[in-house]
Amino acid sequence: MLITFLAFQVNLKSCDPSKNARQSSSIQIQGLWTGTFTAEQGAKGVFYFSIKPNGDILIENNYKGVLRVANGKWNIVGNTFTCSGTYFYGSPENIGTVTEHTAYFDNKENLMSGVWKNIYPNNDTGTFTMTKIQ
């Protein structure tokens, strides 16, 4: 009887619609993304994300002709995409900078209403939008 009850519980959990929605969003968001960002002071640049299935992300930005690259982790809950990383390549003042990004994912090909911030040691902030390219 206990085994039947446990099997029923496992079956119920596998039919959890919120879990299925999270898995679907995770699969759809994986891939290569490109977009633009605007810094708080008005400067503009280009963002690239490589969102990988294992939860890793590669964040690249090109600002004033200088490529900066960070690696980190991403997550999605509902339609809210978040990621953070640490810059390891680019201009010397950006090496070691921790960056965080949050955006609305439309479950198709767009990250919208994005906000980014560099939280250590630089304190830059701004907005971004992105479109999936692959």
Pairwise pLDDT comparison (53 vs 6), residue with the higher score? 53
Task: Give the pLDDT confidence score for residue 42 in this predicted structure.
Answer: 87
Cα 71 vs. chain centroid, distance in angstroms? 11
46 vs 66: CA distance, rounded Å: 11
What DSSP character marks residue 132? E
Task: Give the pLDDT confidence score for residue 97 in this predicted structure.
Answer: 94
Quick one: which of 32, 79, 22, 77 has its CA closest to 58? 32
12 membership: H or E segment, kind and range? helix 2-14
Please state the pTM of the whole predicted model. 0.79
Number of domains comprising the chain? 1
Task: Give the pLDDT confidence score for residue 23 in this predicted structure.
Answer: 58
Is there a contact between 85 and 98 (Cβ–Cβ < 8 Å)?
Answer: yes
Domain that holds residue 76: 2-132
Assign residue 124 the CATH number of its domain: 2.40.128.120
Task: Give the pLDDT confidence score for residue 19 in this predicted structure.
Answer: 43
Contacts 24+ apart (CB under 8 A), 115-124: 116/37, 116/47, 120/96, 121/96, 121/97, 122/93, 122/94, 122/97, 124/39, 124/40
Tens of pLDDT, residue by residue over 33-82, are 999 999 988 889 999 999 999 999 999 998 888 999 999 999 999 999 99
Is there a contact between 85 and 73 (Cβ–Cβ < 8 Å)?
Answer: yes
Quick one: which of 64, 96, 102, 107 has its CA closest to 84? 102
Average pLDDT over residues 6-32: 56
Task: Give the pLDDT confidence score for residue 71 in this predicted structure.
Answer: 98
Tens of pLDDT, residue by residue over 75-122, are 999 999 999 999 999 999 889 999 999 999 998 889 999 999 998 887
Task: Give the pLDDT confidence score for residue 1 in this predicted structure.
Answer: 44
